[in-house]
Amino acid sequence: SAAEKDGYDYFMLKEIAEQPKAVANTLLGRVGNDGLLSLDEMRLSDDELREVDKVVVVACGTAYHAGMVAKYAIEHWTRLPCEVELASEFRYRDPVVDRQTLVIAISQSGETMDTLMALRYAREQGARVLAICNTNGATIPRESDAVLYTHAGPEVAVASTKAFLTQMIACFLVGLYLGQVRGTKWGDEIRSVVRDLSDLPAKVDVVLETMEPVRELARNLASATSVLFLGRHVGYPVALEGALKLKELAYMHAEGFAAGELKHGPIALVEENVPIIVVVPSPKGRSVLHDKIVSNIQEVRARGARTIVVAEEGDEDVVPYADHLIRVPECPVLLQPVVSTVPLQVFACEMASARGFDVDQPRNLAKSVTVE
Ligand code: G6P
């Protein structure tokens, strides 16, 4: 009913709007203002955490994209090798996991069959499994050694939004905490990022307040046949997520690529007027990849693409090459997906309704896939 949707036309719109609150709830009680985290919920002693020699993240769909972001963050802050794998692939390929492996299973519903089977497999090999889950008491957290709930509140729309943002936050908490306990050369950075986490809800709010031009753009592009997404580093999973949302909701051909791969194939898809959404890393001085993406934008634009550029506030280098510029607030490099994903959610949602589809009930998809 309209009441359940708080006056929004779709649950998805309501859930997109709830993201600042959801992110704040994930952080609640876990982040000290001394720059230290307390995560007793991980239920592993500091000694056990120091014994971990590898992290493996397993998940499906949008949760897998959160896992991809986790890999960049966890390897950097902890200096532990971190793999991320689709749960459906993991358990059928004889993966190397043992007692020293920390397996992180990410699932909004906590009921996804492939993720559940992957964690069962990992526990049989002796690995310790930490669930990152949004649903209290679901099967995945019940069968895991420990659980970090995202506390995003119930997510009804099939396309995951607030669960995704909070899954990334939970992954950051794990990575920062492991880094804090194990002590790495990034100690100062870890403390400063922990402090920056609390600014994220307000930053997501700023993005939400500036979405009208994005909605207008989506309506203007409603008859496009294909949309491409480019990103690098943590912007790469954001590009994949933007494309997945568009497929799921607008039934449009959409693909995300790592921008560094442009010349190895994707550039062949660039033709006159094809919309390309580029997720730009933090500006020069903070990300060495910034210049490289700016050249990618120039390259695709020279071939006729219509460039839609998602870039941080104050990034002037992208201005000459952006047909449409979407601004997000400045963020620590690894946290940027929390803000840069939001315009892509809004874009997909608006595109789907402009094309006349029910955003909350996309065809052929289920909120939770409890079969193989
Ligand atoms: C389905 C949903 C997706 C979700 C995926 C994983 O495909 O439509 O939105 O990302 O399952 O679900 P989970 O509950 O495990 O996060």
pLDDT computed for residue 45 by the predictor: 86
Residue of 18, 335, 65, 345 lying closest to 200 (CA atoms): 335
Q: What's the complex ipTM?
A: 0.96
Hunting for tokens 């403390």 — which residue is that?
Answer: 191
Quickly state the pLDDT bin for 250 (edges 50, 70, 90).
very high
Atom of ligand 1 nearest to the CA of 64: 10
Spatial distance between the Cα atoms of 293 and 259, rounded to a whole number of angstroms = 7
Atom of ligand 1 nearest to the CA of 60: 6
Distance of CA 161 to the CA centre of its chain: 9
Spatial distance between the Cα atoms of 354 and 44, rounded to a whole number of angstroms = 49
**Does residue 367 carry a catalytic annotation?**
yes
- With H, G, I as helix, E, B as strand and everything else as coil, classify residue 229: strand
Average pLDDT, integer, range 41-51: 86
CA of 166 to the centre of ligand 1 (A): 14
Q: Where are the beta strands (DSSP E) in the chain?
A: 54-59, 82-86, 101-107, 128-133, 146-149, 226-231, 253-258, 275-279, 306-312, 324-328
pLDDT computed for residue 39 by the predictor: 85
Cβ of 60 closer than 6 Å to ligand 1, yes or no, is yes
For the chain, percent of residues with pLDDT exceeding 90: 82
The tens digit of pLDDT for each residue in 301-354 reads 999 999 999 999 999 999 999 999 999 999 999 999 999 999 999 999 999 999
The tens digit of pLDDT for each residue in 286-303 reads 888 999 999 999 999 999
Cβ–Cβ < 8 Å for 202, 307? no
Q: Nearest residue CA, atom 5 of ligand 1?
A: 61
CA of 68 to the centre of ligand 1 (A): 15
Q: Provide the token pair at 95.
A: 């993966």
Cβ of 109 closer than 6 Å to ligand 1, yes or no, is yes
Atom of ligand 1 nearest to the CA of 163: 16
Residue of 105, 341, 88 lying closest to 200 (CA atoms): 341
Neighbours of 258 (CB within 10 A): 17
Angle at 179 between CA 174 and CA 183, to 5 degrees: 155
Cβ of 115 closer than 6 Å to ligand 1, yes or no, is yes
User: Which segments of 91-133 does DSSP mark as H helices, in order?
Assistant: 113-124
Cβ of 63 closer than 6 Å to ligand 1, yes or no, is yes
Q: Nearest residue CA, atom 7 of ligand 1?
A: 61
> How many residues in total does the chain contain?
372
Cβ–Cβ < 8 Å for 351, 215? no
